[in-house]
Amino acid sequence: MESPIKPGCTSTSPVIKTIEMHTGGEPLRVIISGYPEILGDTILQKRQYVKENLDHLRKMLMFEPRGHYDMYGALLVDSDLPEADIAVLFLHNEGYSTMCGHAIVSLGRLAIDKMYVPPTEPETEVNIQCPCGLVKTFVEYKNGKSGGVRFHSVPAFLFASGIEVEVDGFGKIKVDISYGGAFYAFVCADVFGLDVRSSPTSSLKDVATAVSNAVRKRVKLHHPDDSDLEFLYGTILTDGQDKWSGEPTANICVFANAQVDRCPTGSGVTARIALQHAKSLIQLGQKRLFESGANKTLFTGMAVKQTKCGDFDAVVVEVAGHGYYTGEASFMLEEEDVVGKGFLLR
């Protein structure tokens, strides 16, 4: 349907249409039309192209007044893998991620409901190409309605354990670094006298940001597949309960430019399961509950298969959660609207 809005000023951008969703409280703005052509033979080349040529649109859609500091987006693009049903680039306050589990959960439902993939009962497989690789997604579908989503990760692995870094204000701290489609540093919050379930989010954010800064100064990351994957996405503070248990274990993820994840973090759960499996704290097929320190929402995670990623011993991890619709939107930018190009207030 044509928009009833008739701008008084000339629009300097196309009308960009989105579907608004959330997974575990973490927002997802899915961009379904309105972007210019995205060039590149591979998805990593497309990611580079939008960084270099279309970043003003990321700022317009993620930043205020249309978004906010912790907004998250997903941009649907053409896939270069014949087995992929859809392909996606991930957007946030700093740039472009290589993997996002909460986005995958919501996108699985969207792919069924928008008929990108014909639904079948009781579960429909949707193959989603991400910058980190192909993610197999499985969407519940019963009585004509989509439901919960689980996905199988790209190979996830423990990169390094017990690395000592100098954290401003805290001295030398040991961290683990694990990969779940993106690299994360892991450390127990009580090392800093904090609790992921009850400490102020601002305190947790500040500590996690300091850890990320320290790791980026100290550690050179390596990924066997592509150098574009070799960056630390963020730090995940945990409750320290890494040994398998039937009780939920809590964590909070601070990523990109001190952006706080509201949900348990799908790629973070993937990396944390890989870490726990590498330390023999969890076995294949042992399902765990992961609780968001921000709002108590839950994901499940388990290692389902051992594999390799280059020389790294790795696992394929299954993560499950629920995504929900919150609305639809059409966004534009008028010529005289300088502020409308995007700004952040924290």
Does 100 qualify as catalytic in the annotation? yes
pLDDT for res 1: 41
Q: Catalytic pick from 9, 100, 130, 132? A: 100
Which pLDDT score, from 0 to 100, does residue 8 have?
Answer: 53
Does position 125 have pLDDT exceeding 60, yes or no?
yes
Predicted confidence (pLDDT) at residue 111 exceeds the cutoff of 80: yes
- Residue 205 has what pLDDT? 97
Tell me which architecture the domain covering 16-152+325-341 has in CATH.
Answer: Roll (3.10)
Which pLDDT belongs to residue 23? Answer: 98
Contact of 88 with 128, CB cutoff 8 Å: yes
Mean pLDDT value of segment 303-313:
98
Chain position carrying tokens 């919150």: 326
* 280/308 Cα distance (integer angstroms): 17
The answer to whether the 16-152+325-341 and 157-318 domains have the same CATH topology is yes
Q: Name the β-bridge partners of 73.
A: 29, 91
CA distance 31 to 213: 31
Give 2-38 pLDDT, tens digit per residue: 455 555 555 666 899 999 999 999 999 999 999 999 9
**193 phi, psi to nearest 5 deg:** 75, 25
- The CATH architecture that domain 157-318 belongs to is Roll (3.10)
Rounded distance between C-alpha atoms, residue 234 and residue 215, angstroms: 9
167 close to 214: Cβ distance less than 8 angstroms: yes
- Give me the mean pLDDT over the 126-136 stretch: 98
Mean pLDDT for 323-335 is 97
For the chain, the structural domain boundaries read: 16-152+325-341, 157-318
Tell me the pLDDT tens digit for each residue of 56-95: 999 999 999 999 999 999 999 999 999 999 999 999 999 9
In this predicted structure, the answer to whether residue 286 has a pLDDT above a threshold of 70 is yes
Q: What is the mean pLDDT of residues 213-221?
A: 97
